[in-house]
């Protein structure tokens, strides 16, 4: 147990988030749940400090802080940025969302504490290097998600969403633990690298490895909502309050991918130290995941085609995007993973942006039905303009960051000659154009029923613009962000 205080310094960002959680709980108690603005400011302060510490304490190598369980390396470090950014954005626009902070809601203060602990949980998820920690971190994030999903305690949709979520989550964690036990049985260890050593050494039967891996994949797959583990997503996304849905679509999904990459690329793969990756002779998992990716992509896109509720459509679109991300995952190449990381960051920005617009409109229109968006282009030009940028970015059209992200994915795919998946991915983007444009169509082409602005809060529109700008700018100049994503992978595959 090599626990040295000097290493502990790298754990500061997570520590600060935990402290923020406790601080939020205390402030909420002190203000007796009335002035939730204070709790929000505590949360924001905590997040900012944590962000600062992340920047200061950027690890350039992998540090095992508390034994082998958790590793803080550039890979996890990249995800910290994503989680902090997502938490910050969600916190701010939850403040102005009718569904959470409406006048007839109470215990808004505790919402922020859950947000803090969720961020903490996600950070740990990205650093888990052990089956146990994997289960525990997923469990923490899931429990917070169940609570936040059911946050609007008296709305039937929200409670129903949380019920489905909790049942599904419990089942998945059960199955995952069973799978973990099998892997433990095969290798006699729970640490990812130890599992790899165990698999290399042991004769281990293929079937057991397959079942074990698959069941663990069920647990992680549930978090990133890949087919066939995605069934909860549409109902929960639609039922949960919109800020929570926005958080789900960006935060836990990225954390799930972090876990997926770390688990598969540490325990089920051999690396020759120079970035080259070869499969363990035991199992050909890339093919399996390729099929999953194809099905997820197509399922998400085709289901989204016929949605008229924008939130539910964005739910299916997020499933489709998981399909695109998995494309990069199956290539066993450095380029593939870099593309995923970059895509996750860009996806977080544009998806949050889109949800933010949905929230803003929900506050005034009290509905997310597409027909209610009629003529929005003219009543709220800035908001509609930003939404159009997000939609184009989600489709992957050039001037936007979405295109660049997809471009890297396809570059990686073509580089490894995986033509059929590339073709399917490309065709799916075309299908996705149809339903994304159906929103633009209702905003611009169908005439508005009544005229005049919606009187949205200036802060909300400002935040939307703040998110829209990088979506466009990163579409034109994105080298620094890509460099960050590339460097963060050096250690995972190299190490």
CB-count burial class (<10 Å; 0-12, 13-18, 19+) for 141: buried
Q: Least CB distance from residue 200 to other proteins, whole Å?
A: 14
Residues 144, 318, 351, 363: which binds other proteins (CB under 8 A)? 144
Q: Considering the rule CB under 8 A, would residue 17 count as an interface residue with other proteins?
A: no
What's the Cα-to-Cα distance from 424 to each of 184, 290, 297, 324, rounded to whole Å? 37, 11, 9, 10
* 281 lines the binding site for other proteins (CB under 8 A): no
Least Cβ distance, residue 36 to other proteins (angstroms): 11
Q: Which of 205, 219, 484 has its CA nearest to residue 341?
A: 484
- Site for other proteins contains 120 (CB under 8 A): yes
Interacting residues with other proteins between 28 and 57 (CB under 8 A): 34
Q: Which of 8, 37, 441, 448 touches other proteins by CB under 8 A?
A: 441
Q: Which of residues 241-280 bind other proteins (CB under 8 A)?
A: none
Applying CB under 8 A, among 30, 60, 102, 188 the residue interacting with other proteins is 188
Q: Nearest distance from residue 223's CB to other proteins, in Å? A: 14
Take residue 179 and report the two structure tokens written for it: 């799978």
Q: How many angstroms separate the CA atoms of 381 and 399, rounded? A: 20
74 or 121: CB nearest other proteins:
121
In order of 31, 68, 238, the CA distances from 304 in angstroms are 43, 42, 13
Whole-number minimum distance, CB 299 to other proteins, in Å?
6
Between 74 and 282, whose beta carbon lies closer to other proteins?
A: 282
Q: How far apart are CA 260 and CA 265, in angstroms?
A: 8
Strands 269-271, 63-64: pairing is unpaired
CB 401 within 8 A of CB 393: yes
Choose, by CB under 8 A, the member of 238, 321, 387, 493 that binds other proteins: 238
Binds other proteins by CB under 8 A, chosen from 10, 75, 85, 168: 168
Taking CB under 8 A as the binding criterion, the range among 91-99, 186-194, 247-255, 355-363 that sits at the site for other proteins is 186-194
- Separation CA 435–CA 446 (nearest Å): 15
420 is a contact residue toward other proteins (CB under 8 A): no
Smaller CB distance to other proteins: residue 21 or 257?
A: 21
Which of 50, 95, 101, 110 touches other proteins by CB under 8 A?
Answer: 110
Based on the shown chain and the rule CB under 8 A, indicate whether residue 205 belongs to the binding site for other proteins. Answer: yes
Q: Is 481 in the site for other proteins (CB under 8 A)?
A: no
Member of 218, 314, 341, 348 binding other proteins (CB under 8 A): 218
CB of 486 vs other proteins, minimal distance in Å: 8
Q: How far is the CB of 331 from other proteins (least distance, A)?
A: 13
Task: For residue 197, state whether it binds other proteins (rule: CB under 8 A).
Answer: no
CA–CA dist 150, 133 (Å, integer): 26
Total site size for other proteins, rule CB under 8 A: 133
CB of 426 to other proteins, least distance (A): 4
CA atoms 248, 253, 258, 262: torsion sign: positive
When binding is defined by CB under 8 A, the residue of 352, 431, 468, 489 that contacts other proteins is 431
Stretch that binds other proteins, among 249-257, 325-333, 351-359, 442-450 (CB under 8 A): 442-450
Of the candidate residues 26, 29, 414, 459, the single one contacting other proteins (CB under 8 A): 414
Nearer to other proteins, 202 or 276 (CB): 202
CB 427 within 8 A of CB 384: no
Residue 102 touching other proteins (CB under 8 A): no
Among positions 295-314, residues that touch other proteins (CB under 8 A) are: 299, 302-303, 305-306, 308-309, 312
Tokens 């949050």, residue? 352
Q: What are phi and psi of 331, to 5 degrees?
A: -85, -15
Given candidates 76, 86, 119, 166, which one binds other proteins under the rule CB under 8 A? 166
Residues 310-369 that bind other proteins (CB under 8 A): 312
Query: For residue 175, is the peptide bond before it cis, meaning its omega torsion is within 30 degrees of 0?
Result: no
Q: Does 19 bind other proteins (CB under 8 A)?
A: no
The 63-82 contact track toward other proteins, x by CB under 8 A, reads --xxxxxx------------
Cβ-contact 112, 93 below 8 angstroms:
no
To the nearest whole angstrom, how small is the minimum distance from the Cβ of residue 270 to other proteins?
18
Question: Is 210 a binder of other proteins (CB under 8 A)?
Answer: yes
């Amino acid at each position: 147990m090599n626990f040295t205080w000097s290493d502990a310094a790298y754990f500061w960002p997570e520590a600060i988030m935990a402290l923020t959680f406790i601080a939020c709980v205390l402030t909420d108690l002190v203000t007796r749940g009335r002035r939730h603005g204070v709790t929000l400011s505590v949360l924001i302060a905590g997040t900012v400090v944590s962000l600062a510490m992340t920047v200061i304490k950027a690890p350039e190598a992998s540090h095992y802080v508390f034994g082998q369980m958790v590793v803080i390396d550039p890979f996890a470090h990249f995800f910290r940025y994503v989680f902090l950014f997502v938490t910050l954005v969600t916190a701010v626009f939850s403040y102005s969302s009718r569904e959470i902070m409406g006048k007839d809601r109470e215990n808004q203060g505790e919402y922020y504490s859950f947000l803090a602990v969720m961020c903490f949980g996600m950070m740990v998820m990205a650093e888990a290097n052990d089956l146990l920690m994997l289960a525990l971190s997923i469990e923490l994030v899931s429990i917070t998600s169940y609570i936040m999903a059911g946050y609007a305690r008296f709305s039937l949709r929200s409670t129903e969403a949380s019920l489905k979520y909790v049942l599904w989550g419990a089942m998945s964690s059960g199955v995952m633990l069973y799978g973990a036990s099998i892997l433990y049985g095969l290798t006699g260890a729970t640490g990812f690298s130890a599992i790899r050593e165990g698999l290399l050494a042991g004769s281990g039967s293929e079937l057991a490895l397959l079942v074990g891996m698959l069941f663990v994949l069920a647990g992680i797959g549930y978090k990133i909502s890949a087919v066939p583990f995605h069934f909860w997503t549409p109902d929960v996304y639609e039922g949960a309050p919109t800020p929570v849905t926005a958080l789900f679509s960006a935060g836990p999904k990225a954390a799930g991918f972090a876990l997926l990459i770390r688990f598969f690329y540490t325990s089920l793969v051999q690396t020759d130290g120079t970035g080259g990756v070869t499969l363990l002779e035991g199992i050909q998992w890339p093919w399996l995941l390729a099929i999953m990716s194809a099905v997820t992509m197509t399922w998400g896109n085709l289901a989204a085609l016929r949605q008229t509720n924008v939130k539910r459509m964005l739910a299916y679109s997020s499933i489709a995007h998981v399909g695109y991300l998995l494309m990069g995952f199956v290539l066993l190449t450095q380029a593939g993973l870099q593309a995923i990381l970059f895509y996750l960051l860009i996806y977080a920005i544009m998806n949050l942006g889109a949800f933010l617009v949905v929230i803003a409109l929900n506050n005034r229109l009290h509905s997310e039905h597409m027909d209610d968006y009629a003529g929005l282009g003219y009543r709220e030009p800035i908001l509609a303009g930003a939404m159009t940028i997000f939609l184009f970015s989600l489709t992957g059209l050039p001037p936007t960051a979405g295109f660049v992200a997809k471009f890297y994915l396809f570059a990686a795919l073509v580089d490894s000659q995986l033509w059929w998946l590339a073709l399917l991915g490309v065709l799916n983007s075309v299908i996705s154009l149809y339903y994304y444009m159906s929103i633009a169509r209702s905003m611009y082409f169908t005439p508005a029923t009544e005229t005049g602005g919606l009187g949205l809060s200036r802060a909300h529109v400002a935040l939307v613009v703040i998110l829209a700008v990088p979506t466009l700018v990163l579409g034109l100049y994105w080298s620094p962000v890509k460099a960050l994503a590339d460097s963060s992978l050096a250690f995972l595959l190299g190490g």
